[in-house]
Structure 1
Amino acid sequence: MKLLMSCVLFLMILPQKIDLKSVRETYRQSAENTEKTEQLDKILIAVTKNDKPALVAYKGAVIALKAKSAEKIKDKKEGFIEGVSWVEHAIEKHPNNLEARLIRLTIQENAPKILGYKKNIPEDKTKLLSGLKSISDSHLKNYIEDYILQSKVFTDEEKAQVAN
């Protein structure tokens, strides 16, 4: 019986491979859909700050998104700060990771001005625009391009650069 319980416990805590494509799609939908936010939170529950930088950044983004639903302003602010700390950690450890930069940009573009979290927009825009051509993962490249084309922080000229 102990052996059986040990095996079941081992299988439950085995790290599951997380599909980044599905994480990206769920994240795209989660800003406007709390059910998708909860779904993404469950997918990323086992992610730690030692995981891939994109996963760490997505986990931070989900924490920040969940904070929007908190009842108390203090909890909203604390949740947002915690989420942002995950994103910043990912970028600090991997400053050239374009997906983490994209995630930070999405948060900064949509964060209320009162939170004062908008200072890295120019830096992240530059990194994304200059690094776009070097991305070999076509799904990631299309994901970033789609974001740029609908974003309000990119100029028409920058969008035209991406569209060509």
Structure 2
Amino acid sequence: MKSILLCFGLLFISFLSPDISAVRADYRSASENQEEAEKLYTELASVSDTDEVLLLGYKGATATLMAKYAKGVSAKTAYFKEGKGLIEQAISTAPDNIELRYIRLSVQENAPKIVRYHKEIDEDKQFILDHYPNLKDGETKKYIKGFVSQSASFSEAEKQLF
């Protein structure tokens, strides 16, 4: 009886946590579409620092996107600070995670100069260049390659390495 309850409990928990593949796809479209950004922000609202660290990173990145669409300086500032804090928290938890480095790089590339969140661009770019060849997960590899191919941080020669 206990094992049946445990199975149901684990099944229920798996439905609460967003699917990382779906979050990746939604994050890409959210950067271009306010409705998608709001939908993803709502979907990730329940993610906490006890959840998967990648979800925390995407929650932070989505919060920074909300700053892009927010009305008023105080709302923009609040969203951006929330997002930056979550991204940095995720990276401090898992500093060797290449996808978290991609998330921070994507945010820093697109952040307005006034927010002064650009210091780790070169570090994250180099981290991705150094660790991409050793990446085993094909889905993550394809996802990061897609980002690099359109990123302004990577030279054409560097893009050819992917």
TM-score by length of 2: 0.88
Distance of 2:75 and 2:17 partners within structure 1:
31
- Corresponding position: 1:64 with 2:64: yes
The alpha carbon displacement at 1:69 in A equals: 2.2
Q: Which amino acid aligns with 2:91?
A: I
The alpha carbon displacement at 1:31 in A equals: 0.7
In structure 1, runs of 5+ residues without a counterpart are 1-9
Q: Which runs of 4+ in 1 moved over 3 A?
A: none
Aligned to 1:116: 116
The alpha carbon displacement at 1:102 in A equals: 0.5
Q: Which amino acid aligns with 2:145?
A: E
Aligned to 1:128: 128
In structure 2, runs of 5+ residues without a counterpart are 1-8
Q: Any idea what the Cα deviations from partners look like across 1:138-157, whole Å, max 9, x if unmatched?
A: 11100001100110110111
Distance of 1:83 and 1:65 partners within structure 2:
8
Distance of 2:17 and 2:53 partners within structure 1:
15
Instruction: Please list, as runs of the form range in 1=range in 2, the aligned pairs for 1:15-164 lying within 5 A after superposition.
Output: 16-162=16-162
Aligned to 1:3: none
Q: Which amino acid aligns with 2:102?
A: L
| Equivalent pair of 1:53/1:97 in contact (CA under 8 Å) | no
How many residues align structurally?
151
Secondary structure (helix, strand or coil) at the match of 1:71 reads coil
The alpha carbon displacement at 1:45 in A equals: 2.0
Q: Any idea what the Cα deviations from partners look like across 1:44-97, whole Å, max 9, x if unmatched?
A: 121101222211010001111112222211221121011110000000111001
Identity, % of aligned positions = 39
Distance of 1:50 and 1:128 partners within structure 2:
26
Distance of 2:21 and 2:150 partners within structure 1:
19
Q: Which amino acid aligns with 1:18?
A: P
